[in-house]
Structure 1
Amino acid sequence: MSEREKAAELSQKEIEDRLAELPGWSPDGDRLTRSYRLASHPAATALVVHIARVQDELNHHSDLTLGYDTVALKITTHCAGSKVTERDLELARRVEALAPAHDAC
């Protein structure tokens, strides 16, 4: 898939279909959101660091919020007019894949 295709806005149906494979993720207007609960603040901080590395690798960054024992993400593609694109779903899939290693739920 080309970078242009990855940055093309997805329809609401496409978003809903793809989110069916990502439990806990939700559409929220023109972004995808998910919160994780962890055992402690250091565990939450470690997850944030891991997510930050993945975001740099993908060159696609979310709004990432660290709480005491929570991590929240809000993902949208700014270069596509702040709409949900395949790039957002790719980041969500990557985060969802790494969360179990941090015992995040």
Structure 2
Amino acid sequence: MTVEPLSQKDIEERLRELPGWSLQGDRIARTYRLGSHFAATAFVVHIAQIQEELDHHSDLTLGYDSVALTVHTHAAGGALTARDFALAERVEGIAAGHGAGDQ
């Protein structure tokens, strides 16, 4: 997948397709609330598996019953790329199965 930075227009369009995600500085971010610490931990492990598959890693924070991600591409000088949105889409795809919702 390309590591070319996305334009601001592309970023805004892609964010519209990812409810709950927002632009925070030079990153896209989302926080999920889960039913327990164990559920949040299991979600983190599943996200880590996806990150390994994509060879693209986010900053991932585990709270008691929450998980926060911030994503950008180091290889593109910290800019946002298609890789960031691919990771966000994959995480969204598993969130409901873990009972993850909005913070």
TM-score in terms of structure 2 length = 0.96
Give yes or no for the alignment of 1:34 onto 2:30.
Answer: yes
State the shift of 1:13 in Å: 1.0
Aligned to 2:4: 8
State the shift of 1:26 in Å: 0.5
Q: Out of 60, 69, 90, which is 1:94 matched to?
A: 90
Q: How many residues align?
A: 101
Partner SS for 1:35: strand
Distance 1:68 1:52 in 2: 18
Higher strand residue share: 2
Distance 1:84 1:29 in 2: 10
Provide structure 2 residue ranges, at least 5 long, that are not aligned to the other structure: none
State the shift of 1:78 in Å: 0.1
Which residues of 2 match residues 53-72 of structure 1 at below 5 A?
Answer: 53-72=49-68
Deviations 1:10-63 (A, max 9, x none): 111101101111000001111110000000000000000000000000000000
Distance 2:68 2:16 in 1: 19
Dislocated runs of 4+, deviation >2 Å: none
TM-score in terms of structure 1 length = 0.94
Give yes or no for the alignment of 1:52 onto 2:76.
Answer: no
State the shift of 1:97 in Å: 0.5
Distance 2:62 2:8 in 1: 28
Q: Out of 75, 78, 84, which is 1:79 matched to?
A: 75
- Structure 1 vs Structure 2 CA RMSD: 0.6
- Given residue 26 of structure 2, which amino acid in structure 1 is its aligned partner? D
